[in-house]
Structure formats: structure tokens, C-alpha cells
Amino acid sequence: MQIQSHPLPSEKMMFQLNLRRRGISDQAVLKAMEDVPRELFVSPADHDYAYRDTALGIDCGQTISQPFVVAYMTEQLQVRPEHRVLEIGTGSGYQAAILSKLSREVVTIERFRTLADRARKVLARLGSANVEVVLGDGLDLPETLGTFDRIMVTAAMEEVPQALLNRLEPGGMLIAPVGPLQSSQMLKRFQRSGEDYPSQELVAVRFVPTLPGVAREL
């Protein structure tokens, strides 16, 4: 059976309608979700499921989050066109592509070379010139990366390291799934206020764990 290379118009309509029904209201986020072709970021075997509201497996034992979670996290991060954004956990590159439509610059960190290389190619194909994919350890960032207005962590952390919070600009926001790595976590949003980082609990989620170091294989 031949896999469809493009979604049916009805699938894209239901995709957008589902996001709106579930409470996504930021028009810039909805437009970004509409404009980025999700089918390019899933495995060929899953092309027919690209616009269903479900997480899908990708290489290296990782996942591409369900569309609602991508849209919700993006909306809650309150990204603006002047912002410099850091993403920890590139995965397929889909979230970075969404963020690239909303911000000035995106730096995305991936520990698996296979995923970093593939994401780089797909993002280049889309013309996402404001995204830099870095092979590295999201828990040990080079000082040369500097600071960010917004940080999104797309893998679970038992707690957010202070060193990562310190990468926020004054008034900057960080969003991350925080809690036990082998069960559900709480999506939390932190905002820098001077040297304080008050947080807000948003919604229960389940993500693959954040792991230290660069993967030796894959």
C-alpha cells in the first residue's frame, strides 16, 4: 500500500478544530501549527497518523509529542517575535519548527546524533533558517550559548537544574515536565524575577526522561 505524502484537507481541518476545541486560542500558535507539515517529522510508516492527536515513536526510542501538547506548551511559553528560544530535546525537530515561526531565533539541543542530523535536514528543507540544531548535553550547556528569553524542555526532569534557570533573561520563562521519570509529571512554568524563579503548575503530562551526556551510539 502506498503511503500518502500529503494529508487530506479534512485531516488538517480536524487537526485545527481539535486544537481549538481543547482550548488553544493563540492565533499565532494555531497558524504555526497549520503551517508546519507534521508529516515530514514522523516516520514513513506513521504518515497516515501524523495529524491524529497522539504521540508517535521516532528513532532512538524517542517520541514526537501529540499535537495538543506541542500547541499547549507553545502557547503557555508565550513566545514573541523578538525572543531567543532554547529547546532541550530536539527529537524530530517538529517543536523547533513551530517555535521558529514565532520567535527570532531557536537553539535546540539533541543528545542523539541520528535525531540531530535528521532534524537539521528537515528544518533546512522547510527553510527554517533561524533554527540552530546542536548535538550536545542539555544538562551541561556550553557557556557560549548565552542566555534566552524562553526555554522549553521536552523531556522529563525530576527537578529543573538551577544552572538552567540561570540561563533565563530577566522576566524570561521556562516550561518543563517535572516529576518522577518513570510515571507522569507535572508541566511547570517558571519565570525569572530577579534572582527568584516562582513556578506555576499547569497540567499533568508524561514525557520520556532527560538523560545526561551525548549518546555514544545513534
pLDDT per residue over 161-182, tens digit each? 999 999 999 999 999 999 988 8
Residue 193 is a catalytic residue: no
**pLDDT above 80 (res 6):** no
Residue 149: pLDDT band with limits 50, 70, 90: very high
Domain membership of residue 210 (yes or no) is: no
What does the pLDDT average to over 104-114? 96
pTM of structure? 0.92
Q: How far is CA 6 from the centre of its chain?
A: 23
pLDDT given at position 30:
97
Across 84-102, average pLDDT = 97
Residue 7 predicted with pLDDT over 70:
no
214 domain residue, yes or no: no
Mean pLDDT, range 39-43, rounded to an integer: 93
Query: Total domain count for the chain?
Result: 1
Confidence of residue 207 (pLDDT cuts 50, 70, 90): confident
84-88 vs 63-64, strand pairing mode: unpaired
- Give the active site residue among 43, 65, 92, 103: 65
**DSSP secondary structure string, 22-83?**
TT---HHHHHHHHHS-GGGGS-GGGGGGTTSSS-EE-GGG-EEPPHHHHHHHHHHHT--TT-
Within its chain, how far is the Cα of 119 from the centroid?
12
Which residue pairs, CB below 8 angstroms and at least 24 apart, start in 200-204? 202/72, 202/76, 202/175, 203/72
Q: What is the CATH number of the domain that holds 195?
A: 3.40.50.150
Residue 81 belongs to a domain = yes
Tell me what the pLDDT averaged over the chain comes to.
Answer: 91
Residue range 127-140: mean pLDDT, rounded: 94
Q: Is residue 217 part of a domain?
A: no
**213: in domain:** no
So what's the pLDDT on residue 8? Answer: 60
Distance from C-alpha of 37 to C-alpha of 39, rounded to nearest angstrom: 5
Instruction: Write down the pLDDT at residue 12.
Output: 81
> Is 181 exposed, middle or buried, given 0-12, 13-18 or 19+ CB atoms closer than 10 A?
middle
Q: Which domain holds residue 80?
A: 9-205
Residue 32: how many CB atoms within 10 A of its CB? 20
Say if CB 173 and CB 77 are below 8 A apart: yes
Cell numbers found for residue 125: 528543507
What's the DSSP call for residue 146?
-
